[in-house]
Structure 1
Amino acid sequence: MPDEETQAAPPKGGLPIKTLAAVAVVVIIEAVVIIGVFMLNSGPEQVAADELATDVVAMAEQPAELLVIAEKFQNTRTGRAYLYDTEVYIVCKSKFLGTLESRLETNRAQISSDLAFLFRRAEPSFLLEPDLSTLRRQIHAVLDSRLGKDEDSGKSYIDEVLIPKCTQFRSDG
């Protein structure tokens, strides 16, 4: 009967110590291996920027200023003769700079004549505007007609017309 009691008794519900110990040993070994691999590798190589490498497309889109004309123009619309010592620049994308320089050189006399005509027929109020917006808009139109437009996009080569100097001088005694 003693055999029947042992067979009928349920097994004890203790923790499986051997299984827990085996799992703990495996986890510790994995941790040691991972730490060892990271210690042997000294990390990623240092990255050095290449100073000569530039984004060509971004450089082509950078704005550039180009002197169109620096001249004195006359206006007599008020009944008195005034000279306007003027400088006109255009702002364009760097990729168009060579094209515009050659076209400006080719059409220099025509552009000078067109701008002189603009100044001669300009209303005195246009020449006294603080930002010269009317004059800049008219010059932009003249330059677009003389220099043409971009063949690919059909847009103007010129982003903006700048008139940093437009000083009025009385020229009649």
Structure 2
Amino acid sequence: MAPYIDLVLRAVSVYLFIIFAIRLFGKKELAQLSVIDLVFILLISNAVQNAMVGPDTSLVGGLVAAGALFVVNFGLKKLIGRYDSIGKLIQGEPIMLIYRGVVQEKNLLSAGFTHAELEAAIREHGIERIENIDLAMLEVDGNISVLSDDFKTKSRRKRVHKTLQSPNATT
């Protein structure tokens, strides 16, 4: 039983490390990974595999590690849903990119967006000009929400450009 407790502790430690590393170094919307992002994720998973299971490469060892990840992931999602402070710590807060047709330059910079990327993102919402947007927010999940027509029309796209969200960003 002790070897399996070790596997659980290893898997949970790696899981938490990767969550906080992504939070620290930025996060990407998974819908539009670049080749570099995909290679990075594949290499990270390969790099931490041995750290999770150690010398135990058995089927049971892999299932115990995977089971521990599922349980911790489920628990963490419940905590995030219940406690806003934990959600803000792990996921960050939305970032205002545009307010009443004016780009919030400081927030745009901290979110890692260029003007060209922002303009492309608003075109995906069917809006031609930044001046026509009342509010554009980079949400914690990497999506951009846009309000227009005097805050009456909301548009939210599931795709977002390859951008990093800064953990220190403010709204």
What's the TM-score once normalised by structure 2's chain length? 0.19
Higher relative contact order (CA closer than 8 Å, sequence separation 6+): 2
What's the TM-score once normalised by structure 1's chain length? 0.19
Structure holding more strand per residue: 1
State which structure, 1 or 2, has the greater radius of gyration over its C-alpha atoms: 1
